[in-house]
């Protein structure tokens, strides 16, 4: 079985723990949680996750540099925020998804699963 890794970028400790436990219970490896854009970008310099969950407002600013890097490398991601306009985000990042905080971690997992199943044919073609 292929290892599934989700990059978790979240600066709220209890929210991050809840999401992390849910993902790990479903067999995911969680990279992070990273509380800052700088930490997440450092991780992405050396690693390629299967997908990502991104809080929009972080300790060092907005997560958009991370979202841009994920978009450039065709890694699917879900924005998870109580401070952002989901429709505006999906206009700029049309291949992403949005979950309004607060939401259940299982809702995030469903969004990740939906994005991955939608992108599966493209990943198979790229793999050769």
User: What's the pLDDT score for residue 121?
Assistant: 54
Domain that holds residue 50: 5-127
Q: Kindly give the residue spans of alpha helices, DSSP state H, lying in the chain.
A: 13-25, 37-46, 64-72, 86-92, 105-127
pTM: 0.88
Residue 124 CA from chain centroid, whole number? 21
Euclidean distance between CA atoms 87 and 122, whole angstroms: 25
User: What's the pLDDT score for residue 128?
Assistant: 46
Residue 43: partners with Cβ closer than 8 Å, 6 or more residues away: 7, 31, 32, 34
Euclidean distance between CA atoms 55 and 117, whole angstroms: 22
Q: Per-residue pLDDT tens, the chain, 128 aa: give them.
A: 468 999 999 999 999 999 999 999 999 999 999 999 999 999 999 999 999 999 999 989 899 999 999 999 999 999 988 878 778 888 889 889 888 888 888 888 888 889 888 766 554 444 44
How many structural domains compose the chain?
A: 1
CATH number at residue 56: 3.40.50.2300
């Amino acid at each position: 079985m292929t290892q599934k890794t989700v990059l978790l970028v979240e600066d709220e400790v209890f929210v991050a723990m809840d999401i992390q436990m849910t993902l790990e219970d479903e067999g995911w490896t969680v990279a992070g949680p990273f509380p800052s854009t700088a930490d997440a970008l450092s991780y992405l310099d050396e690693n390629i996750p299967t997908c990502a969950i991104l809080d929009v407002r972080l300790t060092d600013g907005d997560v958009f540099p991370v979202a841009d890097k994920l978009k450039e490398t065709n890694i699917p991601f879900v924005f998870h925020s109580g401070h952002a306009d989901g429709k505006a985000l999906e206009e700029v990042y049309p291949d992403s998804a949005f979950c309004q905080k607060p939401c259940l971690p299982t809702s995030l997992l469903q969004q990740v699963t939906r994005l991955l199943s939608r992108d599966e044919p493209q990943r198979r073609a790229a793999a050769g």
